Every structure is written in structure tokens, then in C-alpha cells.
Structure 1
Amino acid sequence: MIDDLVRAVEATLFAAEAPMTPEEISRHLNGAAVKDALAELAAHYQGRGVELVERGGRWHFQTAADLAHLLRREKEDLRRLTRAATEVLAIVAYHEPVSRAEIEAIRGVQTAKGTLDVLMEAGWVRVAGRREVPGRPTIYGTTPEFLAHFGLESRRDLPGIDELRAAGLLDPVDDAYASLTAEGPADSAANGARPEKDGESA
């Protein structure tokens, strides 16, 4: 039998507008310990049409992955990521925290300010602080919303280059680029980044 606390956690998450941490749920329920209730709910919903999942330390209900196609909206997304934005998002995800200069050193091109703005507006990239070096450049990282959107529990679940290659997602140019990014961000942009070509900026 499901007890009142489990029901209260279930109702809280069902009504939530965004994924919630256990601490947020607990505060909403007058400080109640919710860890066991979350585990019980996750087990209860496992294998059902709607599942309770944890992404980046935040909990939310989502449609079961094998049923998502039944609810997919036909309306096209009004904003699609450009190639430049996709590259920048990948660099941030694999190298965070990373500065704009480091992003440009890896890509080999200057990054338009609007590219990072688009990713932050989408809620996938955030300002993670400043690098403790001369000039104290801003550094960027991903968000819990990024993990939730791509169905990742943590950054450890990001696919490796071998997995991307095996899936046929890397053409020769992308393959070379991915190999470069796997080596880690360059120490600086001292080598000089070429300007982005038309159509590469966000």
C-alpha cells in the first residue's frame, strides 16, 4: 500500500513545472525525508507508460522512451541549432568548464556571441564562473536541463567517439574534429582562430 508521503511526493512532482531536486521536494513537504519515497515511486512506475526518472540530480515524470513516438508533435521546432551552436554545445558538454577562448581554440574559428546566447536561452548552457587566470575569463558548463533533454543521468553517459563512429554519426570531417576535441581544450587561442564563415554563426 502506498503511504501518504509517497502520494504527496507523487502529487508534488506531477504538478511541478520543472524537474525538482530531493531538497526542493522536501522543502515543499515541510522538510520530510523523501529519498525512500522517490525510490519507491521510481520502482512503481518502472515499465509503465509514464516513468519517474532522475536526471542530473533532479526528478521528473516522462513518457516511456519506447512510447515517445506516439506523442511526438508534428509541429516543427521554430528554432533549430546551427552547426556552430551544435559544435559549441558538444565542446561545452565534453570539456566543461570551458572558456570562450578555449572553445574557439578547439573549433578553430571565432565563436559569435549569439551562439552562446542561443544555448543559454535554451537552458542547456550556463555561466559556471570565471577562470582564475589573468583576465579571469568567463567559463561555461551544461545544466540539469541539458541532461534531462538528452536523457542523460550525468555527463558520464555522454557517448564516446568510438560509439559515435560506430553509429555512423561521424563523417570524415567530423571524425577528425572529434579526435581533436578528445585531446582536450588548447591552452589558449594563441594559435589564432579563423572567423566564422557565413552560416556558421547562430
Structure 2
Amino acid sequence: MSREDLDTLFEAPPIAEQERMVEAILFATSEPLKATALAARLPHGCDVMHALASLQKRYQGRGVHLLRSGDEWAFRTAADLSFLMQKETVETRKLSRAAIETLAIIAYHQPVTRAEIEEIRGVSVSRGTIDLLMELEWIRLGRRRQTPGRPVTFTTTQAFLAHFGLETARDLPDLKELRAAGLLDNRPLPGTPDEREPVENDTDDMFE
């Protein structure tokens, strides 16, 4: 077989066809997929990132969006239409202030050790708070610090990014945006420029 025949045999399909293939795979899977996983299913020579970017642009303003969280991609219902998916009223419980503070410190200072979290908050962090955030799969253990005792660090997870609709941790909103969205009250969070008084204890219930 000649070189020309080989090139023809392994020639990638047109980008429009690549988009259709990626679209079909993502619609058929229940879990987000990495670009490498998509590439493994496509014909040789396909430009997966180009296809994903084109699809993402094409679905802007539609009922579903192609969202990227970290290095994973998935179709999700448009945020403003999520109410259509609800069949019944679900009672939601808010995280306690202690849990919110701990999660915020990890998100904005990661990787961070437990001692560093406690130094920022000015109070010890209860085991229950860490366990809760781990159970929600919003934080995970990171690399150990190369310091005496080699303490573990905490970082946010892919599930955290997906839950809050973030592509990367760099997309985290600032405090003003959080308060404007009603996600935080006007009391300052420890470790931030507008901190005024330290928190005295960590005896809040994990949920309010």
C-alpha cells in the first residue's frame, strides 16, 4: 500500500462530522468525559479540542450547554431552566458558617494544611467539619508538605468545580460577587481583607 493510500485510509473526517461524533458520545454518557477519553473513541487524526470548542459555541443560548469543569466535559441543562427539571419541592439545608468558612479557605488558599486553616480562622477546625466536606466530595487530601511532621494538605475537587459550575479554581468569584448573589451575608470571612473580629469557636452545627 502506497503512502498516499495510507494517508487516505487514516484521514480524519471533516470537522463537522467530528463534532457530531463528540456530540453523540457526550449525550450517551452519564458522566463527564476528558478530552483524552473522547479522542480514544474517535478516528485517528481528529481534533477533539477544536470539535469541543465548536460544539460549546453552537450550544450557547440553547436549552442545554456544553460545560467544561477542569479537564472534563459534559452537557448540562441551562442554569436558568433548571426549575423545569424539578418534580417536587426539595428541602435544602445550608452549611454552617464554620463549614462555609473552611470550604472557602480551602478553595481560595489551596493547597492548605489544617493548621493553616485554623490559623486563618483563628479557631480549631472540628473533625466533623472536615469529614462533612470530604463526604460531600468537595475537598480531598492533597500532597504532604515537606515540613516537620509532613502534614497533609486539602484541595477542592472536580466535584466541587462541577457543583458550582466552575471550569477551574481561578474562576472563583470574589467576595463582593458572592454577597451580591446572596451566597454570603455581610459578615466578614476569616483570612480576608475585610476581616474585623476573629471567630471564637467552631461549635456550630455542621448544618443550620
With normalisation by structure 2, the TM-score equals 0.77
Alignment partner, residue 7 of structure 1 = 20
Q: Is the 8 A contact 1:110 1:194 kept in 2?
A: no
Deviation track 1:99-152 (CA, whole Å, cap 9, x = no partner) reads: 111111222222222322222222211111111110010001111221111112
Alignment partner, residue 127 of structure 2 = 113
* Secondary structure of 2:141 counterpart: strand
Please show how residues 30-109 of structure 1 align to structure 2 within 5 Å. 32-72=46-86, 74-76=88-90, 81-109=95-123
Query: What CA distance in whole angstroms lies between the structure 1 residues aligned with 2:120 and 2:22?
Result: 44
Alignment partner, residue 25 of structure 1 = 38
Alignment partner, residue 202 of structure 2 = 196
The alignment yields a C-alpha RMSD, in angstroms, of 2.8
Q: Which 5+ residue runs of structure 2 have no aligned equivalent?
A: 1-13, 194-198
Identical-residue share of aligned pairs (%)? 48
Query: What CA distance in whole angstroms lies between the structure 2 residues aligned with 1:131 and 1:84?
Result: 24
Q: Name the stretch that deviates more: 27-36 or 91-100.
A: 27-36
With normalisation by structure 1, the TM-score equals 0.79
- Runs ≥4 residues deviating over 6 A: none
Q: Which 5+ residue runs of structure 1 have no aligned equivalent?
A: 184-192
| Aligned pairs, number | 188
Larger RCO, structures 1/2 (Cα 8 Å, 6+ apart): 1
Alpha-carbon offset, residue 24 of structure 1: 2.0
